[in-house]
Amino acid sequence: MADLNIIERANKILTFRKYIREECRKKGLDYPSDEKLAEYINNENNYNVDTFMDMCINKKGIFKDPMDDFKAELALIEWGPDGQPTDEEIAAYVAENGYNVHGFITHHVINTYKGFEKATLLRALALDDAELVKLWNKFIEEGALYGADSYIYDLENADDRIYLTTHMPKDLRAELTRKINNAKLHGNKVRFIQWFELNDNSMHIKTDIKSIIVAYWSEIFERMMGYPMCYGDFFENIFWTECVGALGYNMDNFVK
């Protein structure tokens, strides 16, 4: 479509608006907002009434409800017989957080925990990512359930950097450097990685540490309850503090 001057464009929009109103009246439909008309014109770069009405009637394009796509993605997840989220839970989450599938999964899994298990998880999630990585690595080392490849390396930890520099193959270190530099170009930061040294020698950047803790909390919880001395300050700050609070005491009263 040839460029229109401002007067021609205004007339075109008004005419388009008029035809859409007429079509909606004929079909007994509510007239879409002027914002929707503007969005259609800007996106499609045309004034095709039939195309616009098709989108409107069949909920396509700009009229597609993002909730449908959101629910469709959630439906692909194997929640288990007791873990299926309700429409009410989904709607409440979206109203507060938007259409963040990964965020919803974490939110939903947190709510599957109950009582003391959930209370200690929420206390753990108040820690920063660096502390959560230390907790995760302690769980991997103490429990010996998943093997050394599950260890998460902190690139700001001197010991981790020395280990990677000493043991990681040169080509993999070069790949890591490229990933770090590429992240910087986009205003992001690479800090945590997993290196499957004993498996396929692949390297993966980890950005959402909290979701890892949430997913494995039932196992972490069990290990910390069974072997509290192995977890030191983590047990005291997460479990013991929660126990003291549940009994109506304040830990601050015991700190001199």
What pLDDT is stored for residue 252 in this prediction? 65
Percent of the chain at pLDDT > 70 equals: 95
Taking the C-alpha atoms of 103, 104, 106 and 111 in order, what is their torsion angle to the nearest 10 degrees?
140
Q: Of 44-48, 90-94, 155-159, which gets the smallest average pLDDT? A: 44-48
Beta bridge partners of 154: 192
Q: Of 52-61, 111-120, 167-176, 187-196, which gets the smallest average pLDDT? A: 52-61
Euclidean distance between CA atoms 68 and 74, whole angstroms? 10
Euclidean distance between CA atoms 126 and 123, whole angstroms? 5
Please report which confidence band the pLDDT of residue 32 belongs to, taking 50, 70 and 90 as the band edges.
confident
Euclidean distance between CA atoms 223 and 220, whole angstroms? 5
Please state, as a whole number, how many other Cβ atoms lie within 10 Å of the Cβ of residue 144: 9
pLDDT above 80: residue 51:
yes
Euclidean distance between CA atoms 59 and 217, whole angstroms? 41
What pLDDT is stored for residue 119 in this prediction? 92
Give me the mean pLDDT over the 35-56 stretch.
82
Q: What is the pLDDT of residues 35-45, one digit of tens each?
A: 888 888 887 77
What pLDDT is stored for residue 4 in this prediction? 64
**pTM listed for this prediction:** 0.70
Of 232, 148, 155, 247, the closest CA to residue 198 belongs to 148
Taking the C-alpha atoms of 99, 194, 156 and 238 in order, what is their torsion angle to the nearest 10 degrees?
70
Task: List the structure tokens of 78.
Answer: 């194997």
Give me the mean pLDDT over the 22-39 stretch.
83
What pLDDT is stored for residue 256 in this prediction? 44
pLDDT above 70: residue 255:
no
Of 141, 112, 121, the closest CA to residue 210 belongs to 121
Domain ranges of the chain: 6-63, 66-112, 115-254
Of 226, 223, 191, 186, the closest CA to residue 207 belongs to 191
Q: What is the pLDDT of residues 99-121, one digit of tens each?
A: 888 888 888 888 889 999 999 99
What DSSP letter does each residue of 72-89 carry, written as one string?
HHHHTS---TT-PPPHHH
Q: What is the pLDDT of residues 207-231, one digit of tens each?
A: 889 999 998 999 999 999 999 999 9
What's the CA angle centered on 230, arms 226 and 234, to 5 degrees? 95
Euclidean distance between CA atoms 222 and 200, whole angstroms? 30
pLDDT above 60: residue 254:
no
What pLDDT is stored for residue 223 in this prediction? 94
Residues in the chain: 256
**Are 239 and 117 within 8 A, CB to CB?**
no
**Are 59 and 65 within 8 A, CB to CB?**
yes
Euclidean distance between CA atoms 256 and 252, whole angstroms? 8
pLDDT above 90: residue 190:
yes
